[in-house]
Amino acid sequence: MKTTSHPIRSLLIVTITLGLLSCDGWKDPGNPSGEATARQASAWPGYSGEGGRKYSAADQITPANVAALKPIWTYHTGDISTGRPDYGSTSAFEATPLLVDGMLYLCSPFNKVTALDPATGNETWSFDPKINLKGNYSNQMVCRGVSHWEDADETAGGICSKRIFTSTLDTRLIALDALTGERCQDFGTNGEVDLSSGVGTIRYPGEYSHTSPPAVIADKVIVGGAIGDHGGTQVPSGVVRAYNAVTGKLEWAQDMAPPDYDYEVHGQSAAGYALASPNVWAPMATDEELGLIFAPTGNPSPDYFRTGVPDMDYYGSSLVALDKDTGNIVWHYQFVHNDFWDFDTPAQPSFFTLERDGKQIPALAQATKMGFIFILDRRTGEPLFPVQERPAPQETDVALGLSPTQPWPVLPKPVSGTRLDPKKPFGLTFWDRGKCRKELESLRYDGIFTPPSTDWTLMFTGNAGGINWGGVSIDPERQLLVVNSSNLAWKVRLIPRADFEAVKKANYGHEIGPQRGTDYGVWREMVGSPIGIPCNPTPWGMVTGINLKTGEQLWQSTLGTTRDLAPVPLALKTGTPNLGGPLTTKGGLTFIGAAMDNYIRAFDNETGEEIWKHRLPAPAVAGAMSYTARGPDGQERQYIVIASGGFGRMPVDMSDTLVAFALED
């Protein structure tokens, strides 16, 4: 089904002469009968595979035979929400499954957890936590994945010696037996822990929630939390907490307040955590050998205006390395100083070994909303490619504690736009191009770090990125990094407190946030033409390949078309804004959905050429994964699996479908 209408559909009227695509519709193969003859399958043990790399060593599918890739089975979760009045929020099926011990595990947008046979898609068990479906979840109803834990004691083999952990939108951490889906009764109370306890006052269901899978290391399960944008200075704490994987007991807690923060003077929750500290909503990563947990932090709340001493920014918009046993901060690296642009660190870091001067360096790649990719030493947080501190704009009419400089990686180069020329807008006709130019030229703008103001200010890239939660994929053998990114202009305006209620009432339906406890609310929206098309130049979506040995870009290709953003199949190769990440395989391909059209695509890792695509029932706003398994016919196949669910905030198809592809013969 389609969501509510949107002005971008009007592009059809203007561009009908540009040509039509054939209506190659989605055909659902359903679930083949019969079970897999053997549960032999390669593993995908974490949300992004091994080390957060989104890489599969399977090589059955190659550029030479990818044309024979077809849907083999599908699974339907049954969970879709298009928002009020039936549910409190829209939904997005953004899950990437795990594959452990020959079983696929995934979650639905309503936090339903399911175990599937990897060769047939047949359901083995399902668990429904029955979350509060009326919550006003600011990040939509989303569950991006679950986590697996196994008792290290080889003699253990009883109930719940292998567990699936899920953290829910309504703030629960639940432990399930991996074989049966039954609650692990020894964990917390009735198999769950209340994550809302102690973080501060939660004013409405959904203000504090969980969308990312928990991190797992040794005998600990670690969770952050997602806090809605624009709330204010007294929103719940961004504390990171570790729980014992067997008992559910709280082992340690680390919030991201500055080192000199005076909790008694500046405020704290009942449990002693700093309120409005930077939160960790993106997936974390763990390194068993180093004993570290890597937490990507958001900016402090509220997003576009803060006052007071000390500013909570010290650990904000950073990557923070925590000791697994104590939670103590070992090192941190900040990607944005004094972030007033909502440039959260949005993605899980990806591990690899950097080969340099005959040495093997434990490294990570961290994607950011600015379209910057930072390559750091996992042991110390030191950059492995040069980073410059460049002067940043300072002019604004409000009192912001702006940093005089911002960090810019010299290599790799940004993968999305960092500068927009208002005199060169996009437009389908002279008329709408002129409207866009007038709009862009009316906005305050001095580059990517132009500070907010009470006048409309251009943000390019904006709060959506650049790169978002999909992150990067890494082929460790080729030393290749692949990443998708967006180019989309936004505008932001600070609203004086005395005017806020009147402005909000007069502009119902726009994104206008209160930023309680400050002198200003905020209004932000995409910069679009009168017919709803982005005013900034194309491409609006891209995929980029980077050589990790040199930091240089190898190729860059457009990602997505307007094929499903109009009521008839009209495809303009503009690229589209995108969410969800790439999957890179040893076979020489990168598979990706992410774009706002109903396709999964394959790109050649050597050239960046799009060499295959296949229709889906809805945009695949999720990360793909891959494994090999023996099917009912005894044949070993490589599977590509992706969630095709759409995106409730865009005028696109919605679905509840998990699709598995394999070579036809």
Q: How many CA atoms lie within 13 A of 223 on its CB side?
A: 32
Cα pseudo-dihedral 93, 99, 103, 106, rounded to 10: -20
Burial of 104 (0-12, 13-18, 19+ CB in 10 A): buried
For residues 577 and 541, the answer to whether their CB atoms sit within 8 Å is yes
- Edge to edge, the sheet with strand 329-334 lists 285-287, 292-296, 318-323, 329-334
Give me the DSSP letters along 29-78.
----SS--S---B--B-SBTBGGG--EE---SS-TTTGGGEEEEEEEE--
Residues marked active site are found at: 342
DSSP at 13: H
What count of residues does the chain have? Answer: 665
Tell me which residue of 139, 97, 240 sits closest to 642, measured CA to CA: 97
Q: How far apart are CA 412 and CA 397, in angstroms?
A: 34
The DSSP secondary-structure symbol of 462 reads -
Query: What would the two tokens of residue 167 be?
Result: 């953290």
Q: What is the rounded distance in angstroms from the CA atom of residue 479 to the CA atom of residue 547? A: 6
Burial 545-575 (b: 16+ CB within 10 A, else e): bbebeebebbbebbbbbbbbbbeebbbbebb
Judge contact between 16 and 60, C-beta under 8 A.
no
Peptide bond before residue 120 is cis, with ω within 30 degrees of 0 = no
